[in-house]
Structure 1
Amino acid sequence: MNHYAALSPMKDAEKSKHYRQEHLDYLEGLEKQGKVFAKGRFTDGTGGLVIYIAESFEEVEEIVKNDPYVVHGARGYEIHEWVMQTDAVLPEK
């Protein structure tokens, strides 16, 4: 499995606000499938970032294209394969 950083730059703040819950519900479903490593919004309001876990770029692109934010034009997207390197110990849930 590979990691992919998906940036979601803001295109329309009002649409983003309107579709926020659908977006969060969508990500929750992906988290349950083990497809989301980390996620969060940028504090300056310019968008957000999701680190996905997937087999291929194409798989992640399909996931991102089906995000309600992208479907409804609230956010754009940019995807990069990410080679994670960390010595951090993550807390258990």
Structure 2
Amino acid sequence: MKYFAVISRMLDTEKNNMYRQDHLDYLKTLGKEGKVFSKGRFTDGAGGLVIYKANSLTDVERMVEGDPFIIQGARTYEIHEWAMQLLD
């Protein structure tokens, strides 16, 4: 399993507020499936970060493109494979 950091940048604050609960519910479902490692918003309002667990970039792209924030045009995104290392 690989880790992918997905940075989502704010495009439309009004749409963001409108679809926030749908976005959170979507991530909660993926989390229950073991596909989300961590998530959180940026405190400056610029967007947020989700760390996904997946076998491939294609799998992550499908998940991200299914996010209500992306579908509704509230945010854009960029994906980076992340070489996660836990500290001792």
TM-score under structure 1 normalisation?
A: 0.93
1:87, distance to aligned residue in structure 2 (A)? 1.0
Query: Which residue number in structure 2 is paired with residue 6 of structure 1?
Result: 6
Q: Which runs of 4+ in 1 moved over 4 A?
A: none
- Equivalent residue letter for 1:4: F
- Mapping 1:69-88, distance limit 5 Å: 69-87=69-87
- Equivalent residue letter for 2:81: E
Query: Which residue number in structure 2 is paired with residue 50 of structure 1?
Result: 50
- Equivalent residue letter for 2:49: L
Higher strand share: 2
Contiguous gaps of at least 5 residues in structure 2: none
Q: CA RMSD in A?
A: 0.7
For 2:51 and 2:42, the matched residues in 1 are separated by 14
Q: How many matched pairs?
A: 88
- Percent identity for Structure 1 against Structure 2: 59
Residue 17 of structure 1 aligns to a residue whose secondary structure is helix
Residue 77 of structure 1 aligns to a residue whose secondary structure is strand
Contiguous gaps of at least 5 residues in structure 1: 89-93
Query: Which residue number in structure 2 is paired with residue 34 of structure 1?
Result: 34
